[in-house]
Structures are given as C-alpha cells and as structure tokens.
Amino acid sequence: MTSLNASHLSSSVLLTPPALRFEEVAFSNEDKLLLGPCSFTLDGIGPTLVMGPNGAGKSLLLRLAHGLLSPTLGQISWSGQERPRQAMVFQQPVLLRRSAVANLVHALAVNNVPRRERMKLALDALERFGLAACAKTPARVLSGGQQQRLTLARAWVLSPQVLFLDEPTSALDPAAIRAVEAAVLEFHHRGTRIVMTTHDIHQARRLAGDVLFLSGGKIREHTPSEAFFDKPVSREAQAFIAGELVE
C-alpha cells in the first residue's frame, strides 16, 4: 500500500476530483439551527479534513454532502452534469453477515457489475487492502481494523469519485489506523475526492490538503492545511490547536 505522506501526493493525483459546493446551506431540527448557514467550495485536490469539537456539526455536514440528509435551506451541488459516484465509511463498519469476499461481490451485484467480473474485482480489492487471506472469513468475525479495511475495499471496487469518511479510525489501534490512512491515500492517488472527519490533529496533519474547521454549527475556517496548523485565523481554531477545550 501507499506509504503515508500526504505532502508527496498532490502532484501525483491521477484525476481532478469533482468539486463540491455548499451555498448558504443550513440544517435545522424542530426549529433548532444545528448547522450553518454555510457556504464553501471543495475544488482543490484535498484530502479535506473536517475538524472541530464534539457536536460542531461535522457528521451533519458529511451526511448532507452525501445526500443522507436534505438541507433545510440552501443548495448543495457538484461540478459536472451528474451527481458523482459516492461512498461513505462510518466509524463503526457496516457489513453483511457473510464472508469478506461475498460482501464485495454483493456490492458489485447491487451496482449492476456483470456477474463474470465480480469475483476477480472482489479478490483484487481484498489483495490491495491486505485482506486476501481473509476472503472466506465471515466479515463480522474480522478484527475492527480488518472490518474497516473491508469497508474501504468495498468502496474501492465501486470506484467512487467521492469518498466520505466519518471518524473511520477512532475505534482502532495505531497499526490499524496506519493501514486505514494508507488506504485513504490510495483513493486520493486515484483521484477520489476525500472528505473525512477526525478528532486527531496528528492524523489531520498527516492527511490533509485542506481543513474545514467547524464549531457551534458554523464554519470558522477553510484553509490549506499548512496555513491552518501554522497560523489559524479564527479564535476557535487557535484554541483547538493549542489543545484548549473548545465548545
């Protein structure tokens, strides 16, 4: 798998990923404003790391962008004529009660990939993500780290143009985190737009091309990663990076 160093990746990205635009997007529940209104465009190479304290609205932002929720106000749009192929990886892997390879074959079948191509694509993806030896193992008995890699392999076979990841490594140990980060960078290399939440500043430093920083449902900062970590502009981001407790 790819070695871990985001700074070497931007120049080698194969394709420009589709751009995502939020225009005055807000999400409310029972008259309570939970996110926004916010406007931003993700049109750089990324990966975009979404950061902020608990309850800031990071997961809401990802769910809105992925289409799992509809905004109360505003517009979410993509460059190009069609909605891009998208996948989402969650903190807790969501897998079917069948073998690792069968999980991938099922995803390919649901997405109308011809039957004769499914097994080869599935086995290639398992190999790529270091899971070849687990092909016949029931997915739900794999370790947490293997399960998360399996969800990434399942996304890989579907060639998403955009991949959302919501705290994909928060339940994993360092070795498993390293493997997931390497997998994320494989997608990035292939030209997939990565939008990922994390609480781990070190992880964000390793992976981010740009950072979206939220607190209290508002976007406080959207800057290239170096600028974010070296000279955060907003008071909230300054406090967050300094390790203060931010709400």
Ligand X SMILES: Nc1ncnc2c1ncn2[C@@H]1O[C@H](COP(=O)(O)OP(=O)(O)OP(=O)(O)O)[C@@H](O)[C@H]1O
* Subset of 3-32 contacting ligand X (CB under 6 A): 29
Among 18, 36, 46, 52, binds ligand X (CB under 6 A): 52
Q: Does 56 bind ligand X (CB under 6 A)?
A: yes
Smallest separation, CB 70 to ligand X (Å): 11
* Subset of 178-237 contacting ligand X (CB under 6 A): none
Task: Tell me the β-bridge partners of 88.
Answer: 164
In the chain, what's the furthest Cα-to-Cα distance? 56
Among 44, 55, 130, 216, binds ligand X (CB under 6 A): 55
Q: Does 70 bind ligand X (CB under 6 A)?
A: no
d(CA 25, CA 123): 41
Output 54 or 81, the one with its CB closest to ligand X.
54
Please report, for residues 23, 24, 89, 220, the alpha-carbon distance to residue 71 in angstroms, rounded to integers and kept in the order given.
11, 10, 21, 19
Q: Does 34 bind ligand X (CB under 6 A)?
A: yes
Q: Does 108 bind ligand X (CB under 6 A)?
A: no
d(CA 56, CA 34): 8
d(CA 167, CA 51): 10
134's tokens: 């687990």
d(CA 196, CA 168): 8
Output 55 or 84, the one with its CB closest to ligand X.
55
d(CA 30, CA 8): 46
Among 42, 60, 153, 195, binds ligand X (CB under 6 A): 60
Q: Does 37 bind ligand X (CB under 6 A)?
A: no
Q: Does 54 bind ligand X (CB under 6 A)?
A: yes
Q: Does 93 bind ligand X (CB under 6 A)?
A: no
Could you list the residues that contact ligand X (CB under 6 A)? 29, 34, 52, 54-60
